[in-house]
Each structure stands twice: as structure tokens, then as C-alpha cells.
Structure 1
Amino acid sequence: MIDDVCLYRPPDYDGAPPVDADAVAAWLRERIDADVRIREPFLDAHRTDDIAERLAGARVRSPRERDTVDPMLGTVRYEERALDDPARAGGVLYDGVAVQRALNAALPAEERPLDRLHVAVLDRAVGTWGNHDGRWHKRVSVLGQPALVSVPGLYEAPAKPESYYQEQQRHALLSGDAPPREVLENRVDGEFLVADDPRTTEALKGYVLSAVHLAATGEAFCDDERCRLSNPHRQPGVVRAQLREPEFCEAHAERYGR
């Protein structure tokens, strides 16, 4: 039973992900029988003396190396600066399980009742190691306590249509930089989310609810790809699950439907 959900905003800075945590919380309150509270970013609310070192040690070394980096002084200093100025924290992939452990250790004792779930919305990319193919995979979420929901992961983890990557490469060869979102949307067939997408908040709602659902019921993601509780591996599936009707499969509509 979950009686209390603490939803942590992502950091706020120029260029920060377009996430309306208040809208996510309001949507949750209509669907779950629990108190939903909004808090400041997790790394501000529960910053500990060793958190920079633990984040430095969670940085992925390379896509096909299982071991993460050693937390050397330079990377620790980088993480300290990123904590003070979150806009500096881009371009790094972190071991999501290691980050989750670090954030769990940062929670004070009074924040650990069994009926309270912490959900940290992060502006950092997180991944998990795939034993089946020997490489890191970016993730939208890492469920548990606290649950991690990665905004960059929403854009980067589910695969886009192949034509997207072809157009991206073609544009880069011709112009030397990444194409604007509008260019890709107009030239590439298929539906997908891109950085700063105005649909970001709506798409994240189901991932936050999935964290609550697991904590409350012990059930993982839904197998029905039309359901908000599913975990699609491709962008068109994300759009269908999070942005199209119906919101839930029949079984989960009984629990979460309005």
C-alpha cells in the first residue's frame, strides 16, 4: 500500500526540459488513492556530502564496457559543479541502478516509511546494462525506491524510425550541425518525441504512474502496448501508449480510469 508519493521536479534553468510537475501530480491525484506532494529537485532536497562522488562513479565509461568510471577528482569536481549549475550536466550516461542506490542512500531515515514512494524526475540520461547483448541501454525509467524518470531518456531511449537517423546524418553532413526539430518532423515519416517536445509532460505521466503501480502492487509494466503502463521500446509505441486513447487497457482502466 502506498499512501504518500513525493514527486520531485526536474531542475529549472534556461533550456531545462519542458516538464510541468504540477500537471503530472494533478493527473496522478485523479487516479490513485494517495497523497501526492511536489518537491524541489531531488539533488537539491537530499544533497549529501558524498553524492557528487557517487554520481561520478555511476558514469558509464563506454557503450560496451560494463564497468563504470573510477570517481577521479576531475569527474567529482564536474559533478559538484553540475549540482550547483544543473545546466552543465548534459552529455553523460549514468548507470541508473547506481544512481538509484546513491539517491536511496541520500534519503534521511524519516523519509523511509514503507508506504512512501519517492519519484525523482531527472534531467540526466540513465541506462541499464544488457547482459543479453553486452551493452548499455538508455532507459526512460528505473523503477524502485526512489523511482527514476529520465526526461532525456524519453527522447533518446525508445528507438526512432530508421529514416530519422538517416535524415539526421544527411543534414549534419550538409550543414555541420544537428537539424532543428521542425525539419525532422516534416521530413521523417512516423511519430516520435524529440528534445523539448511540448508533449513531454503528457508522455511522462504514464511512466510516473508505472512507478506507483509497481510499488503498490508488485506488478511490472503492462504487456498491452496501448496502455500507459506499458514500456514501449520504439517511439511510435510511446506515442500510442501515452498520447492516444484509450489511456489504459481494460484491466488497468478498472483501477486507474476516471
Structure 2
Amino acid sequence: MVDSVVLYRAPTNVVDVDELGAWLEARIDASVTVRDRFLESHRTDDLAERFAEARVTSPYERETGNTMLGTIRYEERALEQPEREGGVLYDGMQIQRALNSALPATERGLETLHVPILDRALGTWGDHDGRWHKRVIVLGQPALVSVPGLYEAPAKPEAYYKAKQRHALLSGDAPPREVLENQVEGDFLVENDPRSTDALKGYALQAVHYLETGEAFCDQAGCRLFNAHYHEDLIEAQLRDPPFCAAHARLYGDS
């Protein structure tokens, strides 16, 4: 039984973690508190090296890690100055183990769930297709919520990829992301999207739901607990009514 949930702010993006916490507390039988950035609140001496070991070096290689001195120095700077971090994908399971180790021993039990909102891109390896997949959330203790994953993990509308390919054929290089986002019709979330806080509410609830029930995700598209693989599905699940399927509405209300 989860008695308390601790959410951690992500200072370099638009997500309002206090609003996220208030929404969550209204729906669960547990207290919710908000703390400042996890990577400032909980730190181990080897955390920069653990991040370096978790780096994904190729989309199609299972092995991770680059522990050259320069990489570890980069990770040390990123821990101190998160606004300087970006463009790196990490093995979400390795990062989860590293952050679990950083928790005080008295807070590692499942009665207190920790949910760091992170500025890092996280992935999990797909045995079925032999490549890494970006994720919005890695369930467990702590449950990791990736803000970049919200924008990058779900597939965008087909028109987005066609426009990207067309630009590359004409110019020989990839277009700036903001150019594509302005050109392509279709609803999808973009970096620093003002809808980000609302879109992450269902993921924060999913972290609690998983520990309470063992259910990883809802299989009903349109429910906030649905694991969307396309931006259209994410928006339908997180930003449109009704917020829950009938079964989960009974547990968490209908708003």
C-alpha cells in the first residue's frame, strides 16, 4: 500500500509539478508532497559515472556506456547545471537502479513512492525488434517520468515524417524541428508545450496505480492510464474527455 508520494521538480522545463501533485492527491488515498530536483535532493558520489554507464551509444546496440573521463565530466556538469544537458538517451532501467541507490535507506520501501520528473531522455531496449525505444515513464521505485520523452517518445503524425524526408531530399540535411512543427498539420506536443503539465498527470497516476495493483497500463485507448505510442493517442488519452475508462473512473473519479 502506497502511503505517500513524493514528486520532484524539473527546473529546466515548463511542467508545473505543484499542479501535478494537487491533481494526483485529489485522486489517491495517499499524501503527496513536492520536493526540489531529485538530482539535488539525493546524490551519490558515483552518480555521474552511473549516468555515463547508462548512455545509449547506438539505437541498435544493446550495450550501453561511455565512461571516458570527458563523458564523466560532462555528466558531472549536467548534474550541477541541468540546463546544459541534452541530446543524450539513457537506459531507463539503469538510471532507475542508480536513483534507487541514491535514496535514503529509510525511503526505499514501497510505502513511499518517489516520482522524479526528469529533464533526461530515457529508453528501454526492445528485444522484439532489436532497438532502443524512448519512454515517457519507467515504472517502479522510483518511477521515472521523462519530460523529453513526452515530446519525443510517441510517434508523430505521418505528415511530419513525410515533410522531414521531403526537406532532406531537397536540401540534403535535416530541417530544424521547429520548422517541421510549424509546417505540419496535426495535433502533437512540442518542446515546452503549455499542455505538458496536463499531459503528464495520467503518467504520475500510473506510477501509483502500478505499485498498488501491479497493472502496468490500461488497454483502453482514451484512458489516462493508456500507454500511447502515437501523439494522437496521447492527446486523446491525456487531454480529452472522458479522462478514464469505466473501470478506472470507479477508482479515480471522472475528472
TM-score bracket, normalised by the shorter chain, equals over 0.9
Runs of 4 or more off by more than 3 Å in structure 1?
A: 168-177
Residue among 150, 167, 173 paired with 2:146: 150
CA distance in 2, matches of 1:69, 1:53: 9
Aligned-residue Cα RMSD (Å) equals: 1.6
User: What secondary structure is seen at the aligned counterpart in 2 of 1:224?
Assistant: coil
TM-score with structure 2 length normalisation?
A: 0.94
- Checking the alignment, whether the CA contact within 8 Å between 1:8 and 1:42 is kept in structure 2 is yes
CA distance in 1, matches of 2:137, 2:48: 21
- Checking the alignment, whether the CA contact within 8 Å between 2:64 and 2:91 is kept in structure 1 is yes
Residue among 103, 107, 113 paired with 1:111: 107
TM-score with structure 1 length normalisation?
A: 0.93
User: What secondary structure is seen at the aligned counterpart in 1 of 2:7?
Assistant: strand
- The AA in structure 2 aligned to 1:7 is L
- The AA in structure 1 aligned to 2:3 is D
Alignment of 1:14-25 (within 5 A): 16-25=12-21
Alpha-carbon displacement from aligned partner over 1:157-194 (angstroms, at most 9, x marks no partner) = 0000121123245557669751536x625x32322111
- The AA in structure 1 aligned to 2:59 is P
How far the C-alpha of 1:196 sits from its partner, in A, is 1.0
Alpha-carbon displacement from aligned partner over 1:66-119 (angstroms, at most 9, x marks no partner) = 000242211111100111111111000000000000000111112123311000
Q: In structure 2, what is the equivalent of residue 47 of structure 1?
A: 43
Alignment of 1:151-230 (within 5 A): 151-170=147-166, 177-180=175-178, 184-185=181-182, 187-230=183-226
Q: Which residues of structure 1 form unaligned runs of 5+?
A: none
What is the total number of aligned residue pairs between the two structures?
Answer: 252
CA distance in 2, matches of 1:238, 1:61: 28
- The AA in structure 1 aligned to 2:117 is V
Residue among 63, 68, 73 paired with 1:67: 63
